[in-house]
Amino acid sequence: MGAAPGASAQLGGGTAALGCASLRSGGALQLDGGALLGARDVQLQAGALLAVGAGHVELAQQWSVDAAASVTLTTGRVERKDASPGCPAVGAVGQLLPGTAPPPAQPVVIPTPPGGGASPGTAQVTIAAVDAGGAAAALPPGCTVMQLAITHAIPPGAPANASFPLGALRFAAQGCPGATLQVNVTYPSSLAGLALQKHGPYDTGTPQPQTGWFTPPNLQVNGTTVTYTVTDGGDGDGDARAGFIADPFAPMQLLAAPGPGGPAAIPTLNEWGLLLLSALAALLGARRLRPAPRRFD
């Protein structure tokens, strides 16, 4: 199967099964969300365009793209696998090109606070990879988010005057060696007055990293949306295993300390302190009642 230079074809969202024939194209081919299956080899010559979009390309053996050719994807994929019993895969099987669009946002319910009351609502969470330009992209092949929740189980070490009205976001991913993931959270209420903190190990400039709460890398705030990054084995990754990422994050509300003239705690005395104070008061009272000595001139 082939397309001459300058030719154009559209799959129209359907499926084309090549039966182990090879695709060699110098023109433009648009899948329109469809699937191109069962190819032995796919060769894109100079000037060719393969618009996979949200579609799917499967080949068994050679994937060859000229430097002057172009392949575009959004949520689609190109992968190598056995095309048929008579057309076995040659080379590593699996995705050759994952889609570049980030995964869709996931709704995550914020549970009712421990003290009672209504749930603050539902947050929208997207966990994506970061492409060379710093934009959100599809997760790398094999990188999977296994857990995603907002809870009121708060990691230790928070300031004594901190509360967590929107809970703590926790997610766990695996199969992500060396990956940098971008976390995007849109909360159902204002973040005004809240400290946005992440928990985990972080570099303090000493040989031994410290574990605790800190401002996450690349933090950005836009209205009620928070964006930050976490890298496998980097600051804030709570799982020391290579390829595994664990990430707690939470907006903190810090109660203000009393200002000048404001209410403050009054120190109390224990029983022995009260006895000592009483004895001192009695001694001072006795000295005041003692008559002054008479003078004789």
Contacts of 163 (CB under 8 A, 6+ apart): 252, 253, 255
pLDDT at residue 282, rounded to an integer = 53
pLDDT at residue 295, rounded to an integer = 53
pLDDT at residue 285, rounded to an integer = 53
Q: What is the pLDDT along the chain (297 residues), one digit of tens a residue?
A: 656 676 888 988 899 999 999 999 999 999 988 999 999 999 999 999 999 988 999 999 999 999 888 888 888 899 999 988 889 999 988 888 888 888 889 999 999 988 778 889 999 999 999 877 788 888 988 899 999 999 999 999 999 999 999 999 999 999 999 999 999 999 999 999 999 999 999 988 888 878 999 999 899 999 999 999 999 999 999 999 999 999 999 999 998 654 444 433 334 334 444 444 455 455 555 444 455 555 544
Rg (CA), the chain: 33
Distance between CA 155 and CA 173 in Å, rounded? 18
In terms of DSSP H, where are the helices of the chain? 271-289
Q: Are 9 and 3 in contact (CB under 8 A)?
A: yes
Q: Output the pTM of the full model.
A: 0.65
Q: Are 65 and 47 in contact (CB under 8 A)?
A: no
pLDDT at residue 130, rounded to an integer = 87
Where are the domains positioned within the chain?
Answer: 2-97, 106-254
pLDDT at residue 265, rounded to an integer = 36
- Burial class of residue 235 in the structure, from the number of CB atoms within 10 Å of its CB (0-12 exposed, 13-18 middle, 19+ buried): middle
Beta strands in 76-187 (DSSP E): 77-80, 94-98, 106-110, 121-130, 136-137, 144-151, 162-163, 168-174, 180-186
pLDDT at residue 81, rounded to an integer = 94
